Structure 1
Amino acid sequence: MKAYQSVAQFALSGRDADAACFRMLIEELEAADAGSDQDIRRAALSKNQRLWSMIMKANTLDTGVTSLEDRELFVTLADRSQRYGIRAILDPNLSLLPLIEIARNVLDGLEPASVKTEEPFDLNGIF
């Protein structure tokens, strides 16, 4: 999170920094879900909880920048992600896919249209 904050202050717009943060979170959650190392899983879940806690805190205050509808959506997503994250912390066998899906949905909304419509590179055809 400290690395994200330092990069966000100097190089990226708020939206770009948010997208970068969600990309990093997705990578960590995917690695944790694919592996069996409980320390990696706990670290990823801890970052998930902290990120969504920051998002919830930022959206509970009306600063006049974000519409009420968007703020309500982010608070709802934060609540659902944190609740599921707590369940995943307590049950080491619980899939992290729902958390990954929520983060991907947010990332899709943050990325510019040119990035969202780009076709993924297919590795199947080269092997």
Structure 2
Amino acid sequence: MNRNLAQYETARRFTATPQDNEILIFSNANAMLANAKTADAKTRISALFHNQRLWSAIVKDLALETNQLPAELKQNLTDLGIWAMQYSTRAMGEDLSLDPLIAVNRDMIEGLQAQRAAAPPPLPPRGDLASAGLVQSAV
């Protein structure tokens, strides 16, 4: 990766919201699943394994005491995650359609986008309050 691109990626990681990162992760999983629909068995299993790991991480996060989502939403997402993991596992050995997994991930992306749109704008990085118009410079 060239130096300018690396600097851009570093800056993007620090300014991206959690929803931005989650959208990117689900989008990547969906791209892999879409590609696997017409690819060889190795690519299919790799995409399904990636999707399974994604949902496993989500389910683990939902189980943490520090997760502040409402209990009902955590339960619904946990149920969905368990289904996605089980379906991914079955699809590794059977010729199941990948469309249901892609649809669930797409629904998650749409929900995250709606959540991001409803959130207040992020504060500027520290030390940049004057350029953001939040602090007037002394003249």
Q: TM-score range by the shorter chain?
A: 0.7 to 0.9
Greater share of helix residues, 1 or 2?
A: 1
Whether 1:38 aligns to 2:41 is yes
Q: Residue in 2 aligned with 1:61?
A: 64
TM-score, scaled relative to structure 1: 0.76
Distance 1:99 1:55 in 2: 15
Question: Is the Cα–Cα contact under 8 Å of residues 8 and 14 in structure 1 kept in the other structure?
Answer: no
What residue in structure 2 maps to residue 19 of structure 1? 23
Instruction: Give, in angstroms, the shift of residue 114 of structure 1.
Output: 9.6
Structure 1: which 5+ residue stretches go unaligned? 1-5, 116-127
Task: Within 5 Å, give how 1:1-127 maps onto structure 2.
Answer: 10-33=14-37, 35-63=38-66, 65-91=68-94, 93-112=95-114
Q: Is the 8 A contact 2:29 2:51 kept in 1?
A: yes
Is the contact between residue 58 and residue 81 of structure 2 (CA under 8 Å) also seen in structure 1? yes
CA RMSD of aligned residues (A): 2.3
> What is the percent sequence identity of the aligned residues?
31
Q: How many residues align?
A: 108
1:48-83 CA-to-partner distances (Å, cap 9, x unmatched) read: 010000000000123252111111121011011011
